[in-house]
Amino acid sequence: MIKSLYKTYFAILLLVGLTINGLAQQVPINSLYMFDQMLINPAYAGVHVQLSGTAIYRNQWVNLDGSPQTFTGTMHSGFRGNRMGIGIKLESDKIGVHQDNSVYLSYSYKLPLINGGTISMGLQAGGDFLNTDYSRTDPYDLSDPFATESISEINPNFGAGLFYNYRGFYAGFSVPYILDSKSINNFEGVVSAARSVRNYYLTAGTTYVLSPNFKFIPSTLIRVQDGAPLSFDFSGNLIIEETVGLGATYRLNEGFIWMFELKINENFHIGYAYDATLSDLRYVSNGSHEIMLNYRIKIARLHTGLECPSYF
């Protein structure tokens, strides 16, 4: 009975959030973002130096019908002696009858600093391809004009970021989607609107060498969204023998995240994260799962003689 009530409550919230004018379109957040910050900062393009491709699949709020499922794929590389970086980011985010597919290209330029560090300036541009297919619902009234309606829209956007890196310490600031776009659908006199609002990201992390076999990497992500309260993640990863990573994250007002990363060889990294929510959703959902695969390879013509970082 309780589970049924929570599912009904969740469905109502979802419906209201998709039909009331002026509501913000949420940007999905990955739990393993620290391993692929191309997801939130275009200045990260080329930070791995070598060609690096990452795929992440996230299944959020398992057991809830219509819950979000997100697939992201990135590829980036440094070139010109790693003074520049280029990258591409693909994303598919599905929630209920709504799907958002996006493609963004990134470019970064790195400036060497007197202290030996570097600061990267990055830009990205692309667009979101939005689709709402009401035919995937099971309506009570088959004569409802929305029952077979499908609505599609394309929203171009661009973003910018900065990324600083020095001897195991990094810090970044980004606004990946600068345009405050608004889409309005008017069908049979029924008006619905979704607004894409700006998100600001501030990241930082550093590496502590505890012993020849152990390293500890604390990091944080602060998120600010127009019209929404401040949110942050605080994470810690223990690296064992330069091969295994075990970590945990506290996400404000949401819960804890347990993480695992394995460096299979010089080319392959895999990762897994489990989100254990502390909100009322814990009564009807088994949390969220996230899986990552990263492949890195040096291209002789571009990367010969350049040092590639082991981690972020």
CA distances from 164 to 112, 136, 161, 202 (A): 10, 46, 10, 11
Residue 27 has pLDDT above 50, yes or no: yes
pLDDT band at 9 (very low <50, low <70, confident <90, very high): very low
The answer to whether residue 290 is domain-embedded is: yes
Tell me the β-bridge partners of 98.
95, 132
pLDDT tens digits for range 88-129? 999 998 887 788 899 999 999 999 998 888 999 999 999 999
**Separation of alpha carbons 141 and 148, rounded Å:** 11
Count how many domains the chain has: 1
Tokens of 179: 């345009």
The answer to whether residue 263 is domain-embedded is: yes
The answer to whether residue 166 is domain-embedded is: yes
The answer to whether residue 309 is domain-embedded is: no
In the chain, the amino acid numbered 30 is N
Q: Provide the pLDDT for residue 85.
A: 93
Q: Could you tell me the residue range of the domain that residue 277 belongs to?
A: 2-303
The answer to whether residue 159 is domain-embedded is: yes
Q: What is the CATH number of the domain that holds 235?
A: 2.40.160.40
- φ, ψ for residue 78 (rounded to 5)? -90, 155
Ramachandran quadrant class, 267 (left: phi over 0; alpha: psi -120 to 50; beta: rest): alpha
The answer to whether residue 92 is domain-embedded is: yes
Using an 8 Å Cβ cutoff, are 52 and 76 in contact? yes
Average pLDDT estimate for 142-151 = 60
Where is average pLDDT lowest: 136-140, 175-179, 240-244, 289-293? 136-140
Where is average pLDDT lowest: 76-85, 216-225, 241-250? 76-85
In the chain, the amino acid numbered 292 is M
What's the CA angle centered on 39, arms 280 and 164, to 5 degrees? 115
Q: Select the more confidently predicted residue: 136 or 55.
A: 55
What's the CA angle centered on 267, arms 261 and 268, to 5 degrees? 35
The answer to whether residue 240 is domain-embedded is: yes
pTM of the model: 0.82
Residue 61 has pLDDT above 80, yes or no: no
The answer to whether residue 153 is domain-embedded is: yes
Q: Select the more confidently predicted residue: 8 or 29.
A: 29
Residue 5 has pLDDT above 70, yes or no: no
End-to-end alpha carbon distance in the chain: 46
Q: Name the residue among 60, 68, 92 with its Cα closest to residue 275.
A: 60
